[in-house]
Amino acid sequence: MVFSSISFLYYFLPCVLILYFIVPQKFKNFILLISSLFFYFYGEPIYILIMLFNILATHIYGILIDKSKNKKRKKIFLILGIITNLSLLIFFKYIDFAIENINGILNTEIKLLKLALPIGISFYTFQTISYLIDLYKGNVKVQKSLLKLALYISLFPQLIAGPIVRYVDIEKQLEERKATFAIFSLGVKRFVLGLSKKVLLANNLAQLSQIFLQTDEKSIIFYWIYAISTALYIYLDFSAYSDMAIGLGKIFGFDFLENFNYPYISKSITEFWRRWHISLGTWFRDYVYIPLGGNKVKKIKLYRNILIVWLLTGLWHGASWNFVIWGIYFGIILIIEKKFLLTKLEKIPSFISRIYVLVLVMISFIIFNADNIGQALQQIGGLIGITENTIITDTTIYYLKSYILIILISIIVSTPIIKNAIIKAKENKCIEKIVNILEPLVIGLLLIICTGYLVDNSFNPFLYFRF
């Protein structure tokens, strides 16, 4: 079950909301837990056992860490807890990738297991690990209630697509949450805006990308259209699910941290990664980069640390060499920026530095979205006329005319232009009243339009099956 589906919007969510708000306060966590487990079971009836095992193992190791008076024993239980959680992720996500490479190197014929990847395992595994590490460090108190820990790990708004919510950020909210109409309405608004980004923009851009991949009539311009639409699609799809998760969190009284902050207005790749998938970036920073020594080491070790983090970041996104190269690609760029390029980027005009970022990011997402390295190189070559010498075709013109409005709207939505315009307009009290009246009408209209698209069985891909 995904957020952008009729079954979620008009069956599951209304039932959960009714139950949640009619039961006494002491039963609200229980209702959310049962709802979250059903939500996961609906999509993963067998693999829910893996998540339940992770929850139970994390609960037991957490108690053992807390009860151990000896720091060495605490560390042993922490390591065992991390190994237990990571081993499941590694087995299901990377075993076939490892077998393929062993077969290729040693010329063996070991059969692939062809296991389906449990949805959301990359997200909830990182949550359980962060809980155990923070508990070991004394940053959080042990959660003795299995129900509350299970709710933290399985909470359906962020279960399958993030953001990666840390226990330290919602520890108090598991005990007590504010539920006001103002917060509820903010949550509904954020959810519907995210749903609109997903259904009306991201899905259409994904469809354009698919059309490009399937057509034989390519051109240099069409390669650029593909690169732009793919970069926009990946951002809008990711950020839309984060918007919906944050909105749903608010509806139930949780305050999840922001996960995207208009990354396409960045003036450097360093800034880009402070704005893109923030929860993942800060997770790797706090639990990998800093323990390795961070930037408080010699330069050679600093560069090593960056490459390790970005190799792991690439692998986190998928078990394929294109993801590994995608991660190393960004690691090398970040090292170059840190070594000498950042100071130069600060001195040149903003529009040039932004173009620099957008071009590098577009190339990165060609690598990210490709089925293999050969396809990625062929598509990158197409941008500069190496693999395609036709500048434009009638097919390119047709699809450009068909999708240009979606592309332009997507570009605008990917910047803070609309947000800043509304904030500026609200400085005038008269306009503020008009905006406050129109806002719920616009939200309602967007929900109706999205519903129409979903009822019509429009193209609705789920990017997170890869994670």
Report the pLDDT averaged over residues 151-169: 91
Q: CB within 8 A of 10, min separation 6: which ones?
A: 451
- pLDDT band for position 10 (50/70/90)? very high
Distance CA 384, CA 428 (A): 48
- pLDDT band for position 1 (50/70/90)? confident
Q: Could you give the dihedral angle defined by the CA atoms of residues 462, 326, 127 and 38, in that order, rounded to the nearest 10 degrees?
A: 10
Q: Give the pLDDT of residue 295.
A: 86
Q: Give the pLDDT of residue 460.
A: 67
Distance CA 255, CA 248 (A): 10
C-beta of residue 290 within 8 angstroms of C-beta of residue 302: no
Report the pLDDT averaged over residues 213-232: 94
C-beta of residue 92 within 8 angstroms of C-beta of residue 115: yes
Residue 39 has pLDDT above 70, yes or no: yes
Smallest Cα–Cα separation from 187: which of 207, 159, 211, 157? 157
Tens-digit pLDDT profile for residues 56-88 = 999 999 999 999 988 999 999 999 999 999 999
| Token pair listed for 356 | 């620099």
Burial bucket for residue 255 (CB in 10 Å: 0-12, 13-18, 19+): middle
Average pLDDT, the chain: 93
- pLDDT band for position 464 (50/70/90)? low
Half-sphere exposure of 56 (CA within 13 A, CB side): 6
| Token pair listed for 274 | 């402070």
**Of 59, 148, 250, 317, catalytic:** 317
Q: Give the pLDDT of residue 178.
A: 83
- Judged by phi (left if over 0) then psi (alpha if -120 to 50, else beta), residue 357 lies in alpha
Distance CA 32, CA 43 (A): 17
Distance CA 32, CA 46 (A): 21
Burial bucket for residue 211 (CB in 10 Å: 0-12, 13-18, 19+): middle
Q: Give the pLDDT of residue 195.
A: 96
Q: Could you give the dihedral angle defined by the CA atoms of residues 202, 318, 283 and 143, in that order, rounded to the nearest 10 degrees?
A: 100
Tens-digit pLDDT profile for residues 182-211 = 999 999 999 999 999 999 999 999 999 999
* CA 243 distance to own-chain centroid: 10
Smallest Cα–Cα separation from 259: which of 378, 338, 166, 321? 166
What are the backbone angles phi and psi of residue 18, rounded to the nearest 5°? -60, -50
- pLDDT band for position 427 (50/70/90)? confident
Q: Could you give the dihedral angle defined by the CA atoms of residues 155, 160, 162 and 168, in that order, rounded to the nearest 10 degrees?
A: 30
Q: Could you give the dihedral angle defined by the CA atoms of residues 428, 429, 431 and 432, in that order, rounded to the nearest 10 degrees?
A: 110
Q: CB within 8 A of 318, min separation 6: which ones?
A: 466, 467
* CA 430 distance to own-chain centroid: 38
Q: Where are the domains of the chain?
A: 6-176, 183-466
Q: How far is CA 351 from CA 277, 328, 419, in A?
A: 23, 26, 20
Half-sphere exposure of 338 (CA within 13 A, CB side): 16
Q: Give the pLDDT of residue 425.
A: 86
Report the pLDDT averaged over residues 276-298: 93
Asked if the bond preceding 163 is cis, omega within 30° of 0, the reply is yes
Burial 404-430 (b: 16+ CB within 10 A, else e): eebbeebeebbeeeeeeeeeeeeeeee
* CA 271 distance to own-chain centroid: 17
Distance CA 16, CA 53 (A): 25
- pTM score of the predicted model: 0.93
Residue with tokens 């970036």: 281
Q: How far is CA 422 from CA 250, 325, 425, 438, in A?
A: 22, 40, 5, 12
Does the active-site annotation cover 317? yes
